Amino acid sequence: MKINEKQGVNVLIVDDVIANLIILTEIIKKAGYVARPVTSVHQAMDAIMALPPNLILLDITMPEIDGFEYCSMLKKDVRTRDIPVIFISAMTTPESKAKGFSLGAVDFIVKPFDEQEVYLRVNTHIKLYRMQQELEEYNKHLQRMVNEQVRKIADEQKIITFALTRLVSRRNSFVKNHMDSLGKNARMLSMSLQFSPKFTKLIPNEFVEAIEVAAPLCDIGKSAIPDAIVSKRGPLNTEESIILDQHVFEGYELLMEIFDKNKNNYFVKMAAEIALNHHEKWDGTGFPARLKGKEIPLSARITSILDEYDILTGPLNFRGPCSHEEAVEILNQKAGISFDPDIMDVLNKVQRQLK
């Protein structure tokens, strides 16, 4: 509860001795605060439920539930743990004070009361409580501002990557549909992998956001390859294959040029990583570097599976589109050879969600 006015400060006084309540109530009122006297812990509980106090003056020696036990209860409850507690007691031994402080009390006031001492201690802790709450509010405001700036930066980075995707997709409608499907499927599969113990720690939410816009750029390097080769319907000869394979380097270099001008763009960095490595194979027989197993970046391992699925089921398959079931069967035949078998295990559980 934020304290704005001295008038709004209320102090809960818990003591089973009426004479003590009267004295403390008068002192609190003279200090300009609202005094709320109660004679038991049970009454205190009801009072706190009705209106949380800004400070609690708590007697130690009380029937049923003593002050030590109640203080412990208050500090364990998330709703009351931050309310400062001052013990009021005739117990002045070092052991009793040590126990009180260990339970979370902020101060001790010794009976019989000295009015000036009570006023000073209460006033000091009210001010400290106010400062603590104002600091917490400031920190929350600062965190909101930081989060907003981070979000804006991420959005700007995402827009750059998305713009590249739109630019490449203009080549023809087939490419556009392929890129759209690849992005949606990459997001879906990455989110599914988050629930797998083998991938939970490897795929934060930032990864999911990035791969949705990065995966569609896997073949951006093909923009530097002659159309006659890229669009050829049918198998490529050896020379054509060598030329087409260069698209991984072309794409990587293009994206890294953009990344070098903006080192914080996680989206473009992932896109470059995928562009270079999405033709690597799990068994080490892929290209360009013959990476094997987990040497292949996770983003590329995910993209390579979904890229092939979309090619198999779409118009880019020169043999004619496969059915969903046929495509999934082909992918499973390549698990442990071309594709990460653990990713394939998860894909099989969610394969009906593929676009």
The encoded tokens of residue 97 equal 């004070």
Phi and psi torsions of 10, nearest 5°: -120, 140
Half-sphere CA count of 244, side-chain side, radius 13 A: 14
Phi and psi torsions of 303, nearest 5°: -65, -40
Q: DSSP per residue over 215-274, as a string?
A: GGGTTGGGGGS-HHHHT-SS---HHHHHHHHTHHHHHHHHHHHHHHT-TT-HHHHHHHHH
CATH architecture of 6-141: 3-Layer(aba) Sandwich (3.40)
The encoded tokens of residue 355 equal 């676009």
Instruction: Say if residues 268 and 252 touch (Cβ distance below 8 Å).
Output: no
pLDDT for 194? 95
The domain segmentation of the chain, as residue ranges, is 6-141, 170-353
Tell me the sheet residues that pair with 36.
Answer: 12
Instruction: Say if residues 35 and 126 touch (Cβ distance below 8 Å).
Output: no
pLDDT for 91? 75
Looking at the whole model, is its pTM more than 0.85?
A: no
Q: pLDDT tens per residue, the chain (355 residues)?
A: 444 445 578 999 999 999 999 999 999 998 889 999 999 999 999 999 999 999 999 999 888 899 999 999 999 999 999 899 999 888 778 888 889 899 999 998 888 888 888 888 888 888 888 787 777 777 676 666 655 654 554 565 556 555 565 555 555 445 567 777 888 999 999 999 999 999 999 999 989 988 988 898 888 888 777 878 877 777 888 888 888 889 899 889 888 887 877 777 788 889 899 999 999 999 999 999 999 999 999 999 999 999 999 889 887 666 778 899 999 999 999 999 999 999 999 999 999 998 8
**Beta carbons within 8 Å of 90's beta carbon, 6+ residues apart:** 61, 110, 111
Residue 212 CA to residue 197 CA, distance in Å, equals 22
pLDDT for 169? 53
170-353 and 6-141 share a CATH fold: no
| Burial (Cβ within 10 Å: 0-12, 13-18, ≥19) of residue 166 | exposed
* 10 C-beta neighbours (distance < 10 Å), count: 18
Residue-wise over 58-77: b if at least 16 C-beta within 10 A, else e? bbbebeeeebbebbeebeee
pLDDT for 316? 67
Phi and psi torsions of 57, nearest 5°: -100, 120
Q: Give the containing element (helix H, strand E) for 290.
A: none
pLDDT for 77? 93
Half-sphere CA count of 311, side-chain side, radius 13 A: 14
Instruction: Say if residues 71 and 104 touch (Cβ distance below 8 Å).
Output: yes
Instruction: Say if residues 26 and 49 touch (Cβ distance below 8 Å).
Output: no
Single out the residue of 90, 19, 77 nearest to residue 44, CA to CA.
Answer: 77
Homologous superfamily (CATH) for 170-353: Hypothetical protein af1432 (1.10.3210.10)
pLDDT for 288? 93
pLDDT for 166? 58
